[in-house]
Amino acid sequence: SKLSSPVVDAICEKIMFLVVKYLPTAVNHPEDLEARERMMVAAALGGWVLNNGGTHLGHSLAHVVGAKMGIPHGMAAAYALPATLSLTAEVEPKKVREIGNILNVTFPENATHTEIGDHTAEGYKHFRDEILGLPAFEQQEITREQLLALKENVLNERFAANSPFDVTPKAVSFTLNQFG
């Protein structure tokens, strides 16, 4: 988000570390109190980050698609993230690479901004789909045409303007085509 700061970024990195390390255990072993406690801390820090650093296009996609298509907000945000990572990498490659590092992504030597975005998005999808087991977007039975019909709603959603890149019709079409 354009509203972010170095402190917000550092807290976001801690949240991501906690999620990657403890969410799989909390999901698969809900009796594990340490994992649940660490996720509680991540959730509390997440609220602080939203208040102090805001959100951007990914959250706008989750708001609009979730509300219009009946997908829970967290699930919609999970489906929106890979495309927004790709767009964000073009203007904030160091931040996106750090996310990839937290996800244990291996980058090619001298990776381009596009490669950083693509590799991080793939690493995230592996975590989301293979480790956590989020249902495939195709199970939602929503067509690309239905998603693309929401373009104006996403363009005008209030958090989209906080994106560190230009939120153009082309950028929104890209994210809706990659949604899932």
pLDDT (0 to 100) of residue 112: 98
pLDDT (0 to 100) of residue 159: 94
pLDDT digits (tens, 9 = 90+) for 52-97: 999 999 999 999 999 999 999 999 999 999 999 999 999 999 999 9
Interacting residues of 156 by C-beta distance below 8 A, sequence separation 6+: none
pLDDT (0 to 100) of residue 179: 94
pLDDT (0 to 100) of residue 175: 95
pLDDT (0 to 100) of residue 15: 98
Which CATH code, of 1.10.10.10, 3.40.50.300, 2.60.120.10, 1.20.1090.10, is assigned to 55-178? 1.20.1090.10
Torsion of the alpha carbons at 94, 96, 100 and 102, rounded to the nearest 10: 80
pLDDT (0 to 100) of residue 30: 96
Question: From CA 166, how far away is CA 180, in angstroms rounded?
Answer: 22
pLDDT (0 to 100) of residue 98: 97
The DSSP output letter for 136 is P
pLDDT digits (tens, 9 = 90+) for 145-162: 999 999 999 999 999 999
**Token representation of residue 2:** 């354009």
pLDDT (0 to 100) of residue 47: 95
Work out the pLDDT band at 171, boundaries 50, 70, 90. Answer: very high
Domain boundaries, the chain: 1-54, 55-178
pLDDT (0 to 100) of residue 135: 93
> Other C-beta atoms within 10 Å of 16: how many?
17
pLDDT (0 to 100) of residue 131: 95
Work out the pLDDT band at 164, boundaries 50, 70, 90. Answer: very high
pLDDT (0 to 100) of residue 176: 95
pLDDT digits (tens, 9 = 90+) for 92-133: 999 999 999 999 999 999 999 999 999 999 999 999 999 999
Question: From CA 118, how far away is CA 105, in angstroms rounded?
Answer: 11
